[in-house]
Structure 1
Amino acid sequence: MVLSTPNLTFTLYRPFGYRQMFTANPANVQHMLKNHFPNYRKGDVFRKTLRDFLGDGIFNADGDNWKFQRQVSSHEFNTKSLRNFVEIVVDSELSDRLIPVLKNAAANKIVLDLQDILQRFAFDNICKIAFGYDPAYLLPSLPHARFAVAFESAVTLISERFNSNIPFIWKIKKALNIGSEKQLKIVAKEVREFAKSIIKEKKQELHDKTSKECVDLLSRFLSSGHSDEDFVTDIVISFILAGRDTTSAALTWFFWLLHNNPEVENEILDEIKQTSEATVYEEVKDLVYTHASLCESMRLYPPVPVDTKSAVNRDVLPDGTVVAKGTRISYHPYAMGRVEKVWGPDWEEFRPQRWLEEAVEESDRKWSFVGKDNFTYPVFQAGPRICLGKDMAFLQMKRIVAGVLRRFRVVPALEKGSEPIYISDFTSKMKGGFPVRIEERDVDLLQN
């Protein structure tokens, strides 16, 4: 609907006087996320809806609380940490867990739910970097890990609450402690209790250590002087949510699009052939065409398809839309990736070349990457709240793509003519998962 309006902005009116604005206008997005940033916050409705799970963590925080968490967290995403993340955390999860799972599936002709596999991969990774804890969720047996299962249930239930058209229904269910709200209370408590047990262990570990070097996010927060378990638990849960769901969602849709565009897969394979696995960090940095392909995939299927703010005071957007005080307004990356005026008449096509130009002759590279501004392509947000983990996410995704495609073909195991059903919770997912067959390549690209 937002794409059918002249200014790419409209207001949705719901029962009981509830209304919400949506925009896919880049000028409005820049206005909200940068130029008038102080006026557009998470807001009370957002925070109260998600507080039972996210508490006051960074993704549910405003003001000084948000600033502090972002400042401490930013140290986790410097160049040294990124190199360490890719070369140690991601690479071990890839070689010791993901590749063996895929190899076993290929050998035994097992149909895997790739969406689940990628979520398990991302869950292990983010727990390692956030907690310094390995849940070992991606093993050949695909274990039923209590913490991971409780976390998934909590995310599903809090998403239902957040997406409810009539919010007072969940509030009544919560007051009566019945149905989905009763279940949410149980699984959220389980997640928080488990997280607190890890925090206690980490405190003891830091106390016993002679070296106080902080190697994970939890250690960094605890060493900053904030030892309140509830506050630190909020922070870690928020980061697990972001790290688990976003990269796995992006890669799920990427592998679907890749299968339907074999010419893109061949181009990526050619690029992988020209790289060496000897220097992992440098390898993924140099995968320019692969980077463009991931950007193009996220244009069509952004991991976070919509993000909502609340206006502190009355305002007027650049397109002339009046925003009343307290109005909830959402910018819509999913719709923004489909604006013909921005992306051209071929916007429906999966075409990585729209992000590339021919490299100069002196360079060994065939392509040079040309990005879009963050307000036209706000997949990682923009302005002061731009995603801290953007570079980390790209490094992780490119490493997975290179590691998987080097050895395997990923073939969707859907009925002929059918396509995945897109659903939107906090992140974009495939309804019912993404069944695939794994085929080993005839020639190992490592030898080419």
Structure 2
Amino acid sequence: METLPLFFSLAAVVFAYSIWFHFLARKLTGPRVWPLVGSLPLLFMNRRRIHDWIAGNLRATGGSATYQTCTIALPFLARKQGFYTFTCHPKNIEHILRTRFDNYPKGATWQAAFHDLLEQGIFNSDGKTWLIQRKTAALEFTTRTLRIAMARWVNRTIKNRLWCILDKAANEKESVDLQDLLLRLTFENICGLTFGKDPQTLSPDLPENPFATAFDTAAETTMYRLLYPGFLWRLKKILGIGEEKRLKSSLKIKRDVNGSFFTSDVLQRIALNFVLAGRDTSSVALSWFFRLIMNHPEVEQKIINEISTVLRDTRGPDHNKWLQEALSFDEADRLVYLKEALTETLRSYPSDPQDFKYVVHDDVLPDGTFVPSGSTVTYSILSIGRTKTIWGEDCMEFRPERWLSQEGDKFEPPKDIYKFVAFNAGPRTCLGKDLAYLQMKSVAYAVLLRYRLSLVPGHRVEQKMSLTLFMKNGLRVYLQPRALA
């Protein structure tokens, strides 16, 4: 008899929870949710392809381009820490990044996840801490001197190292991992530009760089912190298991170019934040660019024709002079179609596929979606470029001409700038955008004018689960010398 009250109490709790869960699930528009665990099972099953999975869920919404789900189906938590709104709607993104900028900071969840890696650097801070760093960096990034310095470092690395490695591979008919070479190149450039130091990772013998390897591992494992409830990764950190064990090991490998340990403050606040911005994004974008070029020879030929036209004007008809020196600052500025092709690459394969924001106060997005305070809003940059209602029926096609002005003589971004946020937008717009284009143009010229690329047979190109859209298996290619007309 004593068990009856307990039985009825449990039954009442289960019944009340079932009613609550029914109304919660009915309001959610994303992947299926289960009692207690919410959408965590599907999240775990798709953890190796999370970017494509999110994009698929957004496409499944039809024209709304927004869905909501929860990873913890428990009262209170389901509408706070466990509640996620995913969107690729340009008006929503403008609302988040500009109109209500103060209501959508990085937030405590993001900062806690990235604190071990980035501390309070510019990419992991809000409010006054972020504003001070932003203003300081803006003073440097807006100067022509910095662009000239970037061009000098890029051209030096291309002429003295990249061409030597590629020439050797072409002559010996050996394949190279182009993504690895590009990562080494951009790492050397950002170290040179930021610290005036040369890590020499792009030497002919391609020495292992413990810092770069550890940084890649740390960035990848930190990403998992954002996908699961906070208590899970904190528990793993305490126990020292799984991804948290890998992260701890990676963070120990922090040395400067001379092999000496950085101080924590210098490394976390400056080095890693600039490495994240200057190394990964440009190299990843270039990797996807070269992959697309191999599949679109007509685009490749237009790029070659444009480069040839510019160099014929600046260096004369002698092809040897075209290949002796890297691009000058002014020559790079004249490559309009190349910029369009690089931008089209970023539309389809943005280096940063998604971003997370914390909701400070209850709000309603422009498409009518209610977002509760304490929850998370994620905008999928990858999905924007792959949504027909945003970019049209040909959104999955690689078509650089979509960025050409009606007059046909200049690069022209879309009138709605929030259709393309590969360089972020609003107050957090990337300060290094012009430097990124300069570096990417220089490298594209250096590779394409000298060589024809072909993918190694059987090599699989697929996305890697990381903060940036790395290729999981690299980009292994053969190089053949190009005959210029």
Scaled to the shorter chain, the TM-score interval is: 0.7 to 0.9
**Uncovered stretches (5+) of structure 1, i.e. residues with no partner:** 201-227, 360-365
Partner of 1:168: 231
* Matched AA of 2:365: L
Q: Which moved more, 1:102-111 or 1:14-23?
A: 14-23
Identity %: 39
Tell whether 2:466 aligns with 1:438: no
Partner of 1:354: 402
Partner of 1:262: 297
Deviations 1:226-276 (A, max 9, x none): xx9616642221111121110111011100110111000000000000123
Match of 1:237 among 258, 263, 272: 272
Map 1:98-109 onto structure 2 (within 5 A): 98-109=162-173
Deviations 1:277-313 (A, max 9, x none): 7671111111000000011111110111101111111
* Matched AA of 2:477: V
Tell whether 2:348 aligns with 1:300: yes
Tell whether 2:367 aligns with 1:325: no
Cα distance in structure 1, aligned partners of 2:259 and 2:126? 27
Cα distance in structure 1, aligned partners of 2:340 and 2:451? 21
Structure 1 position 127, deviation (Å): 1.3
**Uncovered stretches (5+) of structure 2, i.e. residues with no partner:** 1-56, 316-326
- The answer (yes or no) to whether the contact 1:195–1:233 under 8 Å persists in 2 is no
TM-score under structure 1 normalisation? 0.86
SS for the counterpart of 2:479 is strand
Deviations 1:15-42 (A, max 9, x none): 3532211111100001010011010000
Partner of 1:20: 84
Cα distance in structure 2, aligned partners of 1:158 and 1:145? 20
Structure 1 position 156, deviation (Å): 2.5
Map 1:206-285 onto structure 2 (within 5 A): 230=265, 233-276=268-311, 280-285=328-333
Match of 2:199 among 126, 135, 142: 135
Cα distance in structure 2, aligned partners of 1:83 and 1:69? 20
SS for the counterpart of 1:422 is coil
SS for the counterpart of 1:15 is coil
Partner of 1:399: 442
Cα distance in structure 2, aligned partners of 1:287 and 1:198? 41
Query: Structure 1 residues 232 and 182 mapped into 2: Cα distance closer, same or farther (>3 Å)?
Result: closer
SS for the counterpart of 2:478 is strand
Tell whether 2:425 aligns with 1:382: yes
Cα distance in structure 2, aligned partners of 1:33 and 1:430? 28
Query: Structure 1 residues 168 and 229 mapped into 2: Cα distance closer, same or farther (>3 Å)?
Result: closer
Partner of 1:31: 95
Partner of 2:174: 110
Structure 1 position 376, deviation (Å): 1.1
Structure 1 position 419, deviation (Å): 5.3
Partner of 2:23: none
- The answer (yes or no) to whether the contact 1:47–1:60 under 8 Å persists in 2 is yes
Match of 1:314 among 345, 348, 362: 362
Deviations 1:166-188 (A, max 9, x none): 44332112112234323322321
* Matched AA of 2:96: M
- The answer (yes or no) to whether the contact 2:177–2:474 under 8 Å persists in 1 is yes
Deviations 1:41-61 (A, max 9, x none): 000000001101111110000
Query: Structure 1 residues 357 and 408 mapped into 2: Cα distance closer, same or farther (>3 Å)?
Result: same
Partner of 2:243: 180
Cα distance in structure 2, aligned partners of 1:195 and 1:71? 28
Query: Structure 1 residues 182 and 11 mapped into 2: Cα distance closer, same or farther (>3 Å)?
Result: same
- The answer (yes or no) to whether the contact 1:19–1:328 under 8 Å persists in 2 is yes
Query: Structure 1 residues 233 and 53 mapped into 2: Cα distance closer, same or farther (>3 Å)?
Result: closer
Match of 1:69 among 133, 138, 146: 133
Tell whether 2:334 aligns with 1:286: yes
- The answer (yes or no) to whether the contact 2:179–2:474 under 8 Å persists in 1 is yes
Cα distance in structure 2, aligned partners of 1:197 and 1:71? 32
SS for the counterpart of 1:375 is helix
Partner of 2:66: 9
TM-score under structure 2 normalisation? 0.80
SS for the counterpart of 2:373 is coil
Structure 1 position 199, deviation (Å): 9.3
- The answer (yes or no) to whether the contact 1:32–1:40 under 8 Å persists in 2 is yes
Structure 1 position 195, deviation (Å): 8.5
Cα distance in structure 1, aligned partners of 2:273 and 2:89? 28
- The answer (yes or no) to whether the contact 1:86–1:281 under 8 Å persists in 2 is no
Query: Structure 1 residues 85 and 48 mapped into 2: Cα distance closer, same or farther (>3 Å)?
Result: same
Cα distance in structure 2, aligned partners of 1:135 and 1:195? 5
SS for the counterpart of 2:377 is strand
SS for the counterpart of 1:326 is coil
Query: Structure 1 residues 144 and 196 mapped into 2: Cα distance closer, same or farther (>3 Å)?
Result: closer
Partner of 1:371: 413
Q: Which has the larger radius of gyration?
A: 2
Structure 1 position 162, deviation (Å): 3.2
Cα distance in structure 2, aligned partners of 1:177 and 1:40? 32
Tell whether 2:156 aligns with 1:92: yes
Deviations 1:311-368 (A, max 9, x none): 1111111111111001110111111001212322111110111111354xxxxxx632
- The answer (yes or no) to whether the contact 2:138–2:431 under 8 Å persists in 1 is yes
Query: Structure 1 residues 344 and 137 mapped into 2: Cα distance closer, same or farther (>3 Å)?
Result: same
- The answer (yes or no) to whether the contact 1:86–1:280 under 8 Å persists in 2 is no
